[in-house]
Amino acid sequence: MGNLNRQIKKYNVIISKLIEIILKLKKEQQVKLLKYAEELLIEDKRSSVRKACQIPVNYATQNQIYTDHIKDISKSGLFIETKKPLSVGERIVMSFNMNGYDHPFKIKGEIVHTNRFGAGIAYKEISSYVADMIGSLVERIKD
């Protein structure tokens, strides 16, 4: 506990200001702030570099077929920009075309997080060949 107390004292001014601001927010705003903070933690845990893009994607859940855009992509997953009601843990099948490839990628995935902008998808049951192709594609995308 000694180390924790030192950290609290060190950031006491910042923490007290944050708490003061949070207490002034409406409940809905507090929930949004919490989700944003959780998203920041998820970003820190990413193992693969993500590259921004605007790739049209068709995808299907158990109940519906959608068309939206991939906002960023990596060797291990992607983010679909959407307003559709998707749920964490839901399985999806995606299909999208990439420059330089004759056939569309057809990939299974699982929704690992959602926010007001869309859904983060982790690839599931992806062959190492397809993962390598996506990896080389990601490397070619300019920052």
Name all domains of the chain by residue range, CATH numbers in brackets: 2-45 (no CATH), 51-140 (2.40.10.220)
Residue keyed to tokens 């993500």: 50
Residues 6+ apart with CB under 8 A from 77: 48, 109, 112, 120, 121, 122, 123
pLDDT in tens, 88-134: 999 999 999 877 778 888 999 999 999 889 999 999 988 888 888 88
Cα–Cα separations (whole angstroms), residue 24 to 75, 123, 135: 41, 40, 45
Of 80 and 35, which is predicted with more confidence?
Answer: 80
**pLDDT value of residue 47:** 55
**pLDDT value of residue 41:** 65
pTM: predicted TM-score of the whole model, two decimal places: 0.66
**pLDDT value of residue 1:** 53
Mean of the per-residue pLDDT values of the chain: 83
Q: Are 121 and 78 in contact, with CB atoms under 8 Å apart?
A: yes
Show the tokens assigned to 30.
Answer: 């507090």
What SS3 class is residue 107? strand
Of 65 and 99, which is predicted with more confidence?
Answer: 65
